[in-house]
Amino acid sequence: MQASRARLFKEYKEVQREKGVDPDIQLICDDSNIFKWTALIKGPSETPYEGGVFQLAFAIPEQYPLLPPQVRFLTKIFHPNVHFKTGEICLDILKNAWSPAWTLQSVCRAIIALMSHPEPDSPLNCDSGNLLRSGDVRGYRSMARMYTKLAAMPKKGAESSHTL
Amino acid sequence: MDSEDDMHDADDLDSLDDQFYSGYAALGSDDGDEYDFVDNVSDGAEESTSHRQQQNYTILSDADIRLRQEEDISRISTVLSILRSEACILLRHYNWSVSRVHDEWFANEDHVRKVVGLLENSSEMQRTRELTCGICFENYPRDRMTSAACGHPFCHTCWRGYISTSISDGPGCLMLRCPDPSCGAAVGQDMIDLLATHEDKEKYSRYLLRSYIEDNRKTKWCPAPGCEFAVEYIIGSGSFDVCCNCSYGFCWNCTEEAHRPVDCDTVAKWILKNSAESENMNWILANSKPCPKCKRPIEKNQGCMHITCTPPCKFEFCWLCLGSWSEHGERTGGFYACNRYDAAKQEGAYDESERRREMAKNSLERYTHYYERWATNQSSRQKALSDLHSMQNEKFLLFQLEKLSDQQSQPESQLKFIIEAWLQIVECRRVLKWTYAYGFYLPEHEHAKRQFFEYLQGEAESGLERLHQCAEKELQIYLDAQIPMNDFNDFRTKLAGLTSVTRNYFENLVRALETGLKDVGSSNNQATCSKSSSSKSLGSKAKGGKSKATGNSSKSAGPSRSMDDSNLWSCDHCTYANPKSTRTCQMCEHHR
């Protein structure tokens, strides 16, 4: 418990210090609980997620960093490796390929990489996976684009609640 | 090629030099065990089966396994000039095959090093006074940090946690790498021993020991519950039956209970059938009707009521009343209805479900017949086994003491014959049990074979009953007797005699069945003499060197038909060999 708290505090300080170094990722620690974090990540360019801002929720176990954090999308996203309803993410480094040398920051980077390079062969969202597997890239892109527009982009005219 | 490699592996413990040059080096090896085995094959005589069973596998105790593992690691470590912990990682990666490690290593050392995670030049940690741990991000003095060969520093607490997490995750801990995600450097037992808690070290070394048996193609754990022995088997060396030191006998190939004379495929089929039969039968009862003639279940999925069974039966019948179609026509209501059926139903004479059950039962009956006998022998064997154990524990000791005090002339060794008789009963029950699975799969149309088989089985059964009776009932008299009895010596002679007769009979039976009763069906008139048939088949096996002992049970011996006495024909019904000139069997008057 103490070790994970100490480590998270280190990460927290690092995040404060490095603010703005990586413009695609913004990590926010819960004010009252250092084991709860949220992150805002920008959809990578040249993907249907471009221009969207996606919110991630981190639940960090007491054995962190020996065990990986639990991460899920709070923003709805149409992606083969993300559960459409729960936002659960299927990513090897969050499961068996976890290494304690990863940080919350590097997990975010890995998730951005996953958005650019979906793995349709191990899908959590079968509809999306099947579109890609059957070669209907256009179908996949337009669906993904639609959900990005619906869920991950600030409404026109409405004031943006978060700026990156 | 495979077996050659394995032979090579198994016995060239001492001949380091020959190692990577030739697989044939093994045959020249003067390793003790191996020598006996080779010697025995050339022997080829009657006893070779029993001898070979002693020779083609080794039971390994915990200490033996550790010793062998140590030896293998030492050899690799010496030959490749690498650390013992590195040798261990390397061996584990190549499933503990010393020769494979050699082959791969000398073919492409760089590649092997990369795949396994052994760095050629280990880099030290940075030479600064303080270093940052890659996990907790704290700074520590250099002497409180440790790294694998890659030089990535982590503090001892984090190492311990990292190792502990991995060990509690299972045997994957044997492939532990440096925590740095971009680094593949292997973490070996040396670091575990340095950094882990006592408990974790123990777990790790247990995984390592298990891996040595489980990942190695030549070794398996004894499947008996609670047994800690392992068995090393010389692949390609005949009978798969092995008997562990815990007295459990099993088939090395399929790890089911020992099942000679039946082969592994048949056993698997039989076991599957036993487990699936009840459910399947329910489905068949509900959804199909057996052909009224050949009893094969038929599912009607479309079409009219005129059913024609598939060849070879080809019986044409009415689906509704199951009567022959030839009795149907316009007068019974044509092709889509059956008056006979409707009429009978109205009269109440026709209970369809009753009839259906009746029909299905017929096809089930055959299976049940064999299954019941198989299961009865199984439970008989269990009973005999427990009798034997209890005798060894209590009664037998009492009995022995009694005899010893009453009658000085019966020392312990003189009573061994009783144990031997019981051991023989247990073994025979096992064989007999499997002959029923054998019988079930013996093709229906091979009449002569079936008859001969059933005759042999019957003889075996009654022989065994005689022995069992003698060992159980007659022995009881002596166990109950308070005073020494004079005819005890007669009893000894009788029981010992029965034991040896039964043993011989069953050994011959097993051999005859394993060769698929190949003498039957040919014009060989020796077929009824099991002794000669089995010694003949054994001879041919010995000539072939190491042939697989588990023969194909249903194969008939085609070639011998043409070679043997061409002026005789063998009766399909009774197997009697008749001169060509006769049209009917001289023995049973069956037509040719």
Q: Which of A13, A66, A105 to mutate to test the interface with B (most CBs of B within 10 A)?
A: A66
DSSP B371-438: HHHHHHHHHHHHHHHHHHHHIIIIIHHHHHHHHHHH-TT--GGGGHHHHHHHHHHHHHHHHHHHHHHH
User: What residues of chain B lie within 8 A of the CB of A63, using their CB?
Assistant: 161, 165
To test the contact with chain A by mutation, choose from B132, B133, B136, B150 the residue with the greatest count of A C-beta atoms within 10 A, namely B136
Sign of CA dihedral B568, B571, B577, B582: negative
Nearest Cβ partner of B181 from A3, A11, A101? A101
Residue numbers in B near A67 (CB within 8 A)? 165
- Using the Cβ of B165 and the Cβ atoms of chain A, whether some distance falls under 8 Å is answered with yes
| Closest residue in chain A to residue B176, using alpha carbons only | A99
Distance between CA atoms of B290 and B342, rounded to whole angstroms?
Answer: 20
3-state secondary structure B211-233: HHHHCCCCEEECCCCCCCCEEEE
Which pLDDT does position B462 carry in this prediction? 87
**Angle of helix B488-514 versus helix B530-543 axis, rounded to 10:** 60
For B181, the closest of A14, A67, A99 (CB atoms) is A99
CB contact under 8 A, B137 and A11: yes
The shortest CB-CB distance from A65 to any of B135, B138, B157 is to B135
Using the structure block, give the residue that is written with the tokens 């982009």.
Answer: A153
Distance CA B118, CA B110 (A): 9
Residue of A6, A67, A93 with shortest CB distance to B136: A6
A94 to each of A37, A88, A108, B393, B508, how far by Cα in Å? 16, 11, 11, 57, 62
Q: How far off is chain B from A4, nearest CA to CA, in Å?
A: 8
Q: Compute the CA torsion angle A23, A26, A27, A28 (nearest 10 deg).
A: 140
Q: Which of B155, B294, B304, B588 is catalytic?
A: B304
A100, two tokens: 């304690």
How would you classify the pairing of strands B249-251 and B241-243? antiparallel
Is B309 catalytic? The answer is no
Q: Is B101 exposed, middle or buried (0-12, 13-18, 19+ CB in 10 A)?
A: buried
The secondary structure element, H or E, covering residue B440 is helix B416-441
Beta strands (DSSP E) in A9-161 are 25-29, 36-42, 53-59, 70-73
CA angle A7-A8-A13, nearest 5°? Answer: 100
Whether residue B181 and residue A102 make contact (CB cut-off 8 A), yes or no, is: yes
Count of beta carbons in the 10 Å neighbourhood of residue A36: 14
Q: Which amino acid is at B117?
A: G
CA A79 to chain centre: 11
pLDDT at residue B49, as a whole number:
40
Q: What CA–CA distance (Å, rounded) separates B461 from A44?
A: 79
pLDDT band, residue A35 (cuts 50/70/90): very high
Size of interface A-B (CB pairs under 8 A): 39
CB contacts under 8 A, B 541-570 vs A, are: none
Rounded to whole angstroms, the Cα distance separating B572 from B575 reads: 6
Q: Which residue out of B158, B167, B195 would a mutagenesis test of the A interface target, given it has the greatest number of A Cβ atoms within 10 Å?
A: B158
Structure confidence at residue A139 as a pLDDT band (50, 70, 90): very high
> Residue A107: which pLDDT band, with cuts at 50, 70 and 90?
very high
Q: Looking at CA atoms only, how far is residue B120 from chain A in angstroms?
A: 24
For residue A100, list chain B residues with Cβ-Cβ distance below 8 A: 134-135, 158, 161-162, 179
Rounded CA separation A103/B529 (Å): 80
Cβ distance B180 to B187 under 8 Å?
Answer: no
A99/B180 touch (CB, cutoff 8 Å), yes or no: yes
| B201: closest CA of chain A, how far (Å) | 18
Question: According to the model, what pLDDT value does residue B278 have?
Answer: 58
Distances (CA, A) of B131 to A18, B126, B157: 21, 8, 14
List per-residue pLDDT tens for chain B, 592 residues long.
Answer: 444 444 444 443 334 443 333 333 333 333 333 333 333 333 333 333 444 445 688 899 999 999 999 999 999 999 999 999 999 999 999 999 999 999 999 999 999 999 999 888 777 778 888 889 989 888 999 888 999 988 899 999 999 999 999 999 888 899 999 999 888 899 999 999 999 999 999 999 999 999 999 888 889 999 988 888 999 888 777 778 888 888 888 888 888 888 888 888 888 888 877 776 655 665 666 667 777 777 777 776 655 666 777 766 778 777 767 777 776 665 555 444 565 555 555 555 555 666 666 666 666 677 777 887 888 888 888 888 887 777 766 555 555 545 544 554 555 566 778 888 888 888 888 888 888 888 888 877 777 888 888 888 888 888 888 888 888 777 777 766 666 666 777 888 888 899 999 999 998 888 888 887 776 654 333 333 333 333 333 333 333 333 333 333 333 333 333 334 567 777 777 777 777 777 787 777 777 7
The closest alpha carbon to A154, from A62, A70, A52, A55, belongs to: A52
- What confidence score (pLDDT) does residue B247 get? 80
**Greatest Cα-to-Cα distance within chain B, rounded to the nearest angstrom:** 109
